[in-house]
């Protein structure tokens, strides 16, 4: 090629450099994007904030006796994994009504227990008591016991766990 047809701006070497750079960048993107996506995907994953928890067959819970069901949930938030334990008092009244209470005291979140002799839920932290229907009898709790929303699927009892 004679020098009279040479481009003053881009010669062959310059063209090859640009094409190599573009092709190299495209190949790096093709190889690198899945790897980047793999590493950041846990942070982008949405965690469920509420869900239905199965407590087993309703018939397993005796009538007129609040029965505690304990369960643990493990949540994954990005790279962080945390486990929380929960408790639910299933109370089947002889009339057929069903109530499921949280076992967390509404004062400062201590765990309640059922005192069968006195027929009250008892909080050991500040000696609070709640009646069978979860209403405050004595002590500092500012409100009655929290209730879970319930649902039956066949004979299976489920409660709605809402976080936040």
Which spans of this chain sit near ligand FES (rule: CB under 6 A)?
105, 107-108, 110, 123, 125-126, 128, 139-141
Output DSSP code: residue 145. P
Query: Judged by CB, which is closer to ligand FES: 61, or 121?
Result: 121
Residue 36: CB atoms within 10 A of its CB come to 10
Closest distance of CB 145 from ligand FES, Å:
10
CA–CA distance, 152 with 96 (Å, rounded to integer) = 13
Nearer to ligand FES, 105 or 158 (CB): 105
* CB 133 to ligand FES: min, Å: 17
- Residue 112 Cβ, how far from ligand FES at the closest point, in Å? 7
Query: What does the alpha-carbon distance between residue 86 and residue 23 come to, in Å, rounded to a whole number?
Result: 56
Write out the two tokens for 30. Answer: 């093709």
Query: Which of residues 68 and 110 has its CB atom nearest to ligand FES in the complex?
Result: 110
What is the per-residue DSSP string for 53-117? Answer: EEEEEGGGSPBTS-EEEEEEEEEEETTEEEEEEEEEEEEE-TTS-EEEEESB-TTT-PBPEEETT
Q: State which residue, 69 or 106, has the beta carbon closest to ligand FES.
A: 106
Shortest approach of ligand FES to residue 125 CB, angstroms?
A: 4
> In the complex with ligand FES, which residue's Cβ is closer, 126 or 160?
126
72 has which bridge partners? 85
Rounded Cα distance, 87 and 61, in Å:
15
Q: How far is the CB of 142 from ligand FES (least distance, A)?
A: 10
């Amino acid at each position: 090629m004679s020098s009279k047809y040479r481009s003053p701006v881009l010669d062959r070497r310059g063209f090859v450099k640009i094409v190599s750079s573009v092709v190299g960048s495209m190949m790096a993107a093709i190889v690198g994007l899945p790897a980047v996506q793999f590493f950041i995907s846990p942070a982008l994953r949405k965690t469920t904030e509420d869900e239905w928890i199965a407590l087993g067959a309703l018939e397993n819970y005796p009538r007129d006796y609040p029965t505690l069901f304990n369960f643990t949930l493990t949540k994954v938030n990005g790279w962080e994994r945390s486990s929380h334990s929960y408790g639910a008092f299933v109370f089947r009244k002889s009339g057929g009504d069903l109530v499921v209470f949280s076992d967390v005291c509404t004062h400062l979140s201590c765990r309640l227990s059922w005192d069968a002799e006195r027929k009250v839920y008892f909080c050991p932290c500040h000696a609070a008591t709640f009646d069978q229907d979860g209403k405050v009898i004595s002590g500092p709790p500012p409100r009655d016991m929290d209730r879970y929303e319930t649902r039956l699927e066949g004979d299976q009892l489920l409660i709605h766990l809402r976080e936040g």
